Structure 1
Amino acid sequence: MQRTCFCVLLLLVLAFATPGFTQTGNGAPNGAHYNLNIIGVENPKTDPLTGSDRHTIFVALGNKNSAVTSKIYLTQGDFQVCDGNAFDAAYDCSGNQIQSQGAVFQLPCNTNIPADITCAAGTVSASYEVWARALGKPGGSVTVTTCATDPTTGEVVCSSENVMLVRGKGKQTFTNVTNELTSIYASFDGGLTYQRVALFSGGFYDFFWQYANSGLRLLQLRFYLL
């Protein structure tokens, strides 16, 4: 009887300890996902790179001694690259120009974050995780920060959190970057308190990833719906 009880208890512990996704050898969850490759190039792309089912965005490369910043604007909807060229005018998935320069990536507001200001009513939303790893020639790095325009001041506000990835030697593994890439964590009272704002919420507009590239050839992002 005691042995039977112990076995049942062990099964219950294992059931609650098992995560929704199992880990793979590269550190990422094992399951269906949307894949996005952000590619750093030395020579600016001249093609529009809009209106297709691409999963790539081209940005400035920079080098390890001098970062070059590109902007990837974010619009709400299902995961999709609207404009894969960060060197020319930015177009959303409906073909409307939204900025004079930048790439555009469409994604849902994320309900899987500890936000103080959550996804606004009527916003396209989903629960998901974002994982990232640096690939390409060793030695490059990138810092990605989520930013938006404050509706009160009209100034650009960037999150105090960011993603900093370095392409080292050997096998590269994925890191969970969900909070950093799907919310802004900032203070709006001079540093007394901080709030986390979900994408496309709180009245903020013109959300974008500030992509400061120091020679990273490839950043791979994976989006896993929960």
Structure 2
Amino acid sequence: MNVLLKTSLIASLFSLVFAPLAIAGNGAPSGAHYTVNFIGHPNLAECDGDPEYCESILGGNAAYSGGSALFVPLVTSKSPGNGKSGKTTLCTDPDDGLQTEFIDEEGPTFQTEEPDGKTRIYFEPTTDGSFEIVDRIADKDGATIQVPVTDDANRYIMLDLFIRVLGKPGTCAEITGYAEETVDTTQLWWYSGSILLDRESGRSTFEKATDIFSVAYCEVEWVDTDGDLAGDTWQCVDGSETELSVFNDIFDQYFWEFLNNGTRLIQARFYPRSDYPG
């Protein structure tokens, strides 16, 4: 991104008045934005621990440059499918008409088992207004994107996310958001939504998916009804449900689990945000 565009975006983020953005024919707003191109690469796993080889197969333009590319495996160890979304027809239903779909959580949803997808995109919050792809290679340690958040207790992301799938028809991917919390000595992973990407023939348009950066949350307690801990678990405290940013200080970290089945290009655009919850 050039300096002029970056300066324009940062200025917009801190402006007290936001002008509404017009929606273009591709489904995305017009105006200054950051772009992240998620590129599926067939040899990405071979990069682990060998920066020089990674540079050679990915190319100097993208591997360690300031460009917009972020590399993910072309085929991940865990495939898109049921997941949190409940959709079972990814890559198999060319007539459903949904190429990009955001599925939000329905009430507080957490798990005590760590998500088992090996490809992750971590998001680091910053209050200085900056946006940067810090690590653009989603190898075993994951890639990292730095995003601006509000400098208050809410820590809302200051950008709206629009995303679409491009490339060869018949491929698919699934992105699932998780915010990690430590309760006593127990790790909880809070589900924040899924983005389903099912590339079909024809025009692919952007879908808004900003809500993947918020989570339906509740205070939890260990419920032991029979006195021996057998079969009991963490449950929500009645009346404690609320909506939180995934960058709230309650959470240790936030990441996307990225599952890919042949998709070579997913395009994300981040625009200055003009509205916040509450």
User: TM exceeds 0.5?
Assistant: yes
Aligned runs of 1:56-71 on 2, under 5 Å? 56-62=69-75, 66-67=79-80, 69-71=118-120
Aligned residues: 185
User: 1:66 and 1:144 mapped to 2: Cα distance?
Assistant: 11
Which residue does 1:210 correspond to in 2?
A: 257
> Is residue 2:220 matched to residue 1:220?
no
User: 2:202 and 2:164 mapped to 1: Cα distance?
Assistant: 13
Residues 110 and 176 of structure 1: CA distance in aligned 2, closer, same or farther (over 3 Å): farther
- Structure 1: gaps (5+ residues): 1-18, 89-100, 112-118
* Partner of residue 104 from structure 1, selected from 144, 150, 154: 144
Aligned runs of 1:10-21 on 2, under 5 Å? 20-21=20-21
* Partner of residue 54 from structure 1, selected from 67, 70, 74: 67
User: 1:141 and 1:69 mapped to 2: Cα distance?
Assistant: 17
After superposition, the C-alpha distances for 1:137-157 in whole angstroms (9 at most, x for unaligned) are 111222212212212154241
SS in 2 for 1:137: coil
Residues 108 and 154 of structure 1: CA distance in aligned 2, closer, same or farther (over 3 Å): farther
Give the counterpart letter for 1:176 in structure 2.
K
* Partner of residue 127 from structure 1, selected from 148, 154, 158: 158
Deviation at residue 224 of structure 1 after TM alignment: 0.6
Which residue does 2:108 correspond to in 1?
A: none
* Partner of residue 75 from structure 1, selected from 119, 124, 132: 124
Identity %: 31
* Partner of residue 244 from structure 2, selected from 181, 197, 220: 197
User: 2:26 and 2:35 mapped to 1: Cα distance?
Assistant: 15
Which residue does 1:142 correspond to in 2?
A: 173
Deviation at residue 207 of structure 1 after TM alignment: 1.3
Which residue does 1:28 correspond to in 2?
A: 28
User: 2:219 and 2:258 mapped to 1: Cα distance?
Assistant: 23
On the 8 A contact 1:110/1:128 being kept in 2, the answer is no
Residues 195 and 52 of structure 1: CA distance in aligned 2, closer, same or farther (over 3 Å): farther
User: 1:170 and 1:103 mapped to 2: Cα distance?
Assistant: 30
On the 8 A contact 2:34/2:270 being kept in 1, the answer is yes
> Is residue 2:41 matched to residue 1:41?
yes
On the 8 A contact 1:21/1:29 being kept in 2, the answer is yes
TM-score between both structures, scaled by the size of structure 2? 0.58
Give the counterpart letter for 1:120 in structure 2.
A
Give the counterpart letter for 1:201 in structure 2.
N
User: 1:171 and 1:53 mapped to 2: Cα distance?
Assistant: 29
Residues 158 and 145 of structure 1: CA distance in aligned 2, closer, same or farther (over 3 Å): farther
Residues 204 and 171 of structure 1: CA distance in aligned 2, closer, same or farther (over 3 Å): same
Deviation at residue 34 of structure 1 after TM alignment: 0.4
Which residue does 1:159 correspond to in 2?
A: 191
On the 8 A contact 2:163/2:266 being kept in 1, the answer is yes
User: 1:162 and 1:62 mapped to 2: Cα distance?
Assistant: 18
Residues 110 and 222 of structure 1: CA distance in aligned 2, closer, same or farther (over 3 Å): farther
On the 8 A contact 2:192/2:214 being kept in 1, the answer is no
User: 2:202 and 2:69 mapped to 1: Cα distance?
Assistant: 24
Deviation at residue 110 of structure 1 after TM alignment: 6.3
TM-score between both structures, scaled by the size of structure 1? 0.71
On the 8 A contact 2:64/2:136 being kept in 1, the answer is no
Deviation at residue 185 of structure 1 after TM alignment: 3.1
User: 1:57 and 1:197 mapped to 2: Cα distance?
Assistant: 27
